[in-house]
Chain A
C-alpha cells in the first residue's frame, strides 16, 4: 500500500535499529510526512527539550505518495525541534532519497539519543545497520557521498548527509541528499550533527503499491495533464526555475536588498533566471547547463550550473569546475540581492559550497547581509571578521564569508550563530531580518503584505513555504489579490497554511500547486490510500497539523509576542517601487488571523478549536 506501514527506530545511544508498525490511527488523522512525523514527535518529545541534547529526536519521513508514479512524488521531510528557532522544525527535500527510503519499505526513521562516536546508517531494504563514520567525520557531504558508495561498493545508494558545519554546531546546517538537494531550513542538520550522525545511505528494491490502482492511474494522468498544460509548471519553471521570479519580484519592489534596507536591487537582472541562460563573456558558455527533475517530477525546475573556471572564486580550485546544483531564486536573493552582490558566478560558487557542506543558503546569505550592515555601522570590525572587508556589494567578501563558515574560522563561528544571535551579540538586535530566530526569505513584506503575516505566524520561523501568498498576490493563483493591501490576507494566509500542511504530508511537492488545486490533489491521495481523503477532510487534516505545530511551539515557550516582524519591516517605509512609503500592516492582519483560526487574542487555540480538530 501507499504507506509502507513500518517505521525504523534507531537508538543512537544504544546502537540499535528496530522495526515498528506504523500507527495507522494517527496516519488517518495526519496523512504522513510532515503531519504524521510531527504527531510522533510531539507524543515522544518534551517541548522544552534542548534541541541539541540527546533527548531531542530527529525524524526522516516520507509521505504515502512518496515513490509512487504521481508527479513530484519525491518528497521527504526532516522533523525535529530546531536549534535556530526553538520551535518545531520541518524541512522538506526532493532528489531521489525519499523515494528510495519508501522503496526499502520504511515510512520513516526516528533517531533518538546520541552515538558515543560518529556513525552513519545503512539501510538495504529490511536490513538497517549503524557503521563507524570516523573516516568521514570532518569531511563534506560530497566526499561522504562518494566514500560511502565506494566503501560499500553500492553505486545505487541514495545518501543524505551533513557537512562539517553541522558537526560543529553552525545553527543553520541542512541535511543534503544527492549532493545538491536540501532539507534546508531551521538547522535540522545541526541536530543530526549533535547526535553524531553523519549520513544515511539507502537502497530500496521492494516496490510500492497503491490502494486502487485503476483510480490512481486515472487521477495521476489527469493531474499530469494539468501540469503539462500550465504556463508556470510547463514553461516558466523548466526554463528559468524559481529564478523566473527575480526580475518580477524586483519590479514589484519586494526584493529585500542590502539586508532589507532597500526593496529593489539595481543588479537584479544580472543574477536572474534569464542571466543564467546568457553566454558568458569569458568562455562563451551560459551559467546554466540544464534543468533537472527530482524523482517522478514532470515539472523539472531544478538548476544544474557550471561555474566559469576563470572566475576568482574557483580559479585555483578545479574541484568546483564540474556541473552541480545552480542557484534557485531564494539562494540567488539571499547570497546576492541581500548582500548587494550582483556576480552570478560568485553566487553559484557560494551555492556549491552550501550544498557541499549542507548549509541553509537563505540563512547563510541573510546572516552575511546582517554582518555587512553591522560592519557598515562599525559594530563589527576587521578584528572580528579576520580582516575580511565586509562591504555590501563585495563578491570577495561574500565568498570569503561563506568559506569562513565552511572552514570553521573564528569569524565563521560568529556567522554560524545566525543573524539573530549575531546581531544581539554586537548590540543591534533590530538588524536581524528574522522571525522566531529564522531569517525571512526573498519577499519583502512591505511590497507583498500577505507575506508579512506568513512570516510572523509560520510555525518554523520566517518562511515562504508555509503559506505562499505570493501565488495569489503576484501570480494570480488561484485568484489575483492586491499585494499592497492587507484586506483579506488573514483568510488567504490561513487557507494557504492548511493546504500546504496537507500537501507537505503527502509526498508531493508544493510547486505543483502553481497548477493543481486541492481538487486535483485529493483524488490522487484518495486512490492511493485507504480512508477518506476528500478535499474537505484534507483541509481539516492541514488545519489539525497547523494547530498541533502551534501547540508544540506554545508549550515550548513561544508566545504571541513572537508573532511579529523585524522593526525595519514595521517602521521603515519602502524607499522605491510600487510599495514606496509603505510598511507592513501586520497589526491589521494578525487579530483577524487569530480569530479565523479559532485562537484567543493571545494566539492560543481555544478548547473549542482543539476539540473540533481532535487535539483536546
Chain B
C-alpha cells in the first residue's frame, strides 16, 4: 500500500458527508450508523474529530481472528464477510475501536479504503480527510510546525 487516509481535525466541520458516503458505498443506503468512519462532536471544545481504521501493518484484528476472515490485501485489512462468524474478538483486540460489529448483518465491519478510492475522502467538502501518499502523511504537519520554529537569537543565549 502506498496511500493512506490522512485526517486534519482542524478542517472538519462535523457535516458527516464522510459517514453518508461510506454507508452509501457499503450498504446502498444513507445510514451513518453503518458507516466505517465516525465523526465525534466535542461540542463544548468546539471540535469535530473524524475517526477510522489506520490499517496497522501488524494488525491486532487480523492476528486474533480465529477463522482468518481478516486478510491483508496490499496493506488494507479486509474483512471477508462470508468467512466472518461474528465472534467480535477483533473488536476487543483493536486498540482504537475502529472494527465494529454490525447487528444488521451479524458480521464485523471496518474501513477497507473502498478498494482504493475511499468515498469519505471524495465526499469531504473541506479536505479534512484526504487519501494521500503514506510516506508523507506528516509532511503538512511538519511544515506547519517548521514554520513556527523561531531562529532569532535568544536574549539569554
Residues in chain A within 8 A of chain B (CB atoms): 67-69, 71, 96, 99, 103, 156, 178-180, 204-210, 213, 224, 228, 238, 289-298, 300, 302, 304-306, 322-324
Contact = CB atoms under 8 A, between A and B. Distances in A.
Contact of A293 (B14, B23, B30): B14
Contacts of B15: 293-298, 300
Contacts of B147: none
19 contacts: A68-B30, A69-B20, A71-B17, A96-B16, A103-B32, A103-B33, A180-B43, A205-B34, A205-B103, A205-B104, A207-B23, A209-B29, A210-B30, A290-B10, A291-B13, A292-B14, A292-B46, A296-B15, A297-B13
A205 B104 CA distance: 9
B46 A204 contact: no
Contacts of B60: none
Q: Is the interface of A mostly helix, strand, loop or mixed?
A: loop
Contact of A323 (B24, B31, B34, B43): B43
A289 B13 contact: no
A207 B46 contact: no
B1 to A, nearest CB: 27
B31 A228 contact: no
Contacts of A156: 33
Interface string B1-40: 0000000001001111100110110011111111000000
A99 to B, nearest CB: 8
Given A99-B32, A205-B33, A207-B27, 6 more contacts: A68-B30, A69-B123, A103-B31, A156-B33, A224-B125, A323-B43
Given A207-B23, A298-B125, A69 B30 contact: yes
B51 interface: no
Specify which of B15, B24, B47, B123 lies most central, judged by the most chain A CB atoms within 10 Å of its CB.
B15
A324 B43 contact: yes
Contacts of B31: 103, 205-208
Contacts of A293: 13-15, 125
B126 interface: yes
B44 interface: yes
B143 interface: no
A292 B13 contact: yes
Interface of B: 10, 13-17, 20-21, 23-24, 27-34, 43-48, 103-104, 123, 125-126
A439 B61 CA distance: 59
Contacts of A208: 29-31
Contacts of B28: 209, 213
Contacts of A67: 30
Nearest to B34: A207
A404 B29 CA distance: 47
A469 B32 CA distance: 36
B17 A69 contact: yes
Contacts of A179: 43
Contacts of B123: 69
A568 to B, nearest CB: 39
B24 A69 contact: yes
B36 to A, nearest CB: 14
B34 A306 contact: no
Contacts of A180: 43
Contacts of A324: 43-44
Contacts of A206: 31
Nearest to A304: B46
A297 B45 CA distance: 20
A179 B44 CA distance: 10
A254 to B, nearest CB: 30
A462 B27 CA distance: 44
Nearest to B33: A205
A304 B12 CA distance: 13
Given A206-B31, A207-B27, A207-B30, A300 B44 contact: no
B46 to A, nearest CB: 3
Nearest to A297: B15
Nearest to B103: A205
A431 B28 CA distance: 56
Contacts of B46: 289-290, 292, 304-306, 323
Contacts of B47: 290
A68 B30 CA distance: 6
Nearest to A210: B30
Contacts of A228: 125
A538 B103 CA distance: 39
Contacts of B23: 207
B47 to A, nearest CB: 8
A69 B14 contact: no
Contacts of A300: 13, 15, 125-126
Nearest to B104: A205
Contacts of B44: 322-324
A208 B30 CA distance: 5
Nearest to B11: A290
Contacts of A292: 13-14, 46, 48
A273 B51 CA distance: 31
Specify which of B29, B30, B33 lies most central, judged by the most chain A CB atoms within 10 Å of its CB.
B30
A180 B41 CA distance: 13
B16 A296 contact: yes
Contacts of A99: 32
Nearest to B40: A155
A491 to B, nearest CB: 35
Nearest to A238: B13
Nearest to A72: B15
Contacts of A289: 46
A68 B13 CA distance: 18
B3 to A, nearest CB: 22
Contacts of B16: 96, 295-296
Contact of A296 (B17, B33, B34): B17
B8 to A, nearest CB: 13
Contacts of B30: 67-69, 103, 207-210
Contact of A204 (B13, B20, B33, B48): B33
A67 B20 CA distance: 9
A298 B33 contact: no
A178 to B, nearest CB: 8
A213 B21 CA distance: 13
A69 B21 contact: yes
A100 to B, nearest CB: 9
B89 to A, nearest CB: 23
B17 to A, nearest CB: 6
Nearest to A103: B31
Specify which of B10, B31, B34, B48 lies most central, judged by the most chain A CB atoms within 10 Å of its CB.
B31
B142 to A, nearest CB: 23
A87 B130 CA distance: 49
Specify which of B24, B34, B45 lies most central, judged by the most chain A CB atoms within 10 Å of its CB.
B24
Contacts of A294: 15
A323 B125 contact: no
